[in-house]
Amino acid sequence: MMDNSSHPAFYEYYARESVSEKTLQRFRSILDTVMRLRSREKATSRVMLDVVDVGCGAGTQSAIWAKLGHRVHGIDINQPLVELASERAKQSGLNIDFRVGSAVSLPWPDGSMDVCLLPELLEHVGDWKGVLHECARLLRPDGVLFLSTTNKLCPLQQEFNLPLYSWYPAKLKRYFENLAQSSRPDLANFAKYPAVNWLSFYSLRRELDALGFLSLDRFDVMDLSKKGATVRICVTCLREVPLLRWLGHVITPFTVVFSVKLA
């Protein structure tokens, strides 16, 4: 049976950070990128989209979509955060379908969603491939999947309070995971389910390719029309030279993937 509880320190941190200006700007940027991709891929021009926010936490990202009139569904294993999300939505007059549940068994029918959002979730779910299969099942053709997760290529991370943790060998990672779930919850920021997966854009792209997606990384989706000449040149080089692109991933703490379902 799933443990849907939350450590007070974990709850307080996410309740606070979920409404920070930095978080709001990030989620707005994700929405803008998803809509640009749908336009680029000439997706069905539905005005109001069906959106599912998997790992919705306190509901900030769900609210941003709902305020624009989209039909939004959110799910998270953390019951106190889902209750907070529901309360915030109610106070804002938003009709969002928030539920407590597991990402490996999503309670919506096949082909029912246009957008699937997976923010900082895959690292915490042992069956991460099962989560991707569930998202592929829910999405309609031309639907967009956004996900962000750990980056095993980069030594910087925020999941464990240990230096260079993403580069630790698997056996040592298992040791600290067990420690974080027993006597040292502070090591993993009091997360009920500490990060157990360390992924990269490349490994995720392979898995998503097999599920019928076209996947793009953070460099592919940058809107260069809003950047200066130096940034445009650097990003163009990253896009064209595989080694430079790989190095770009090495110096970025999080893996970010935008994928379009082709069929």
Quick one: 243 exposed, middle or buried, by C-beta within 10 A (0-12, 13-18, 19+)? exposed
pLDDT tens digits, residue range 101-157? 999 999 999 999 999 999 999 999 999 999 999 999 999 999 999 999 999 999 999
Mean pLDDT confidence for 151-167:
96
pLDDT tens digits, residue range 241-259? 999 999 999 999 999 999 9
State the pLDDT at residue 150.
Answer: 96
Q: Could you tell me where the DSSP H helices lie in the chain?
A: 8-17, 21-40, 60-66, 79-91, 128-138, 170-180, 201-210, 229-240, 242-250
Backbone angles phi, psi at 105, to 5 degrees: -150, 80
Find out whether 126 and 95 touch, Cβ atoms under 8 Å. no
Single-letter code of the amino acid located at 198: W
**How open is the CA angle 78-35-157, to the nearest 5 degrees?**
45
pLDDT tens digits, residue range 179-198? 999 999 999 999 989 999 99
pLDDT tens digits, residue range 31-75? 999 999 988 765 555 679 999 999 999 999 999 999 999 999 999
Assign 3-class secondary structure to 106-122.
CCCCCCCEEEEEEECCH
As a whole number of angstroms, the distance between CA 152 and CA 45 comes to 37
State the pLDDT at residue 105.
Answer: 96
Single-letter code of the amino acid located at 79: Q
pLDDT tens digits, residue range 21-33? 999 999 999 999 9
Tokens representing 156 are 């910087």
Find out whether 165 and 173 touch, Cβ atoms under 8 Å. yes
Asked if the model's pLDDT at residue 263 lies above 80, the reply is: no
State the pLDDT at residue 4.
Answer: 76
Asked if the model's pLDDT at residue 160 lies above 60, the reply is: yes
Question: Would you kindly state where each structural domain of the chain is located, as residue ranges?
Answer: 8-223+255-261
* Three-state SS at 225: helix
Tell whether the torsion through CA atoms of 96, 34, 143 and 48 is positive or negative. positive
DSSP secondary-structure letter at 168? S
Q: Model-level pTM? A: 0.93
Query: What is the distance of C-alpha 213 from the center of its chain?
Result: 16
Please provide the size of the chain in residues: 263
As a whole number of angstroms, the distance between CA 8 and CA 141 comes to 41
Q: Quick one: which of 35, 27, 36 has its CA closest to 58?
A: 27
pLDDT tens digits, residue range 200-224? 999 999 999 999 999 999 999 999 9
State the pLDDT at residue 91.
Answer: 96
Residue 158: how many CB atoms within 10 A of its CB? 12
Find out whether 47 and 39 touch, Cβ atoms under 8 Å. no
Find out whether 214 and 143 touch, Cβ atoms under 8 Å. no
As a whole number of angstroms, the distance between CA 17 and CA 253 comes to 18
CATH code, residues 8-223+255-261: 3.40.50.150
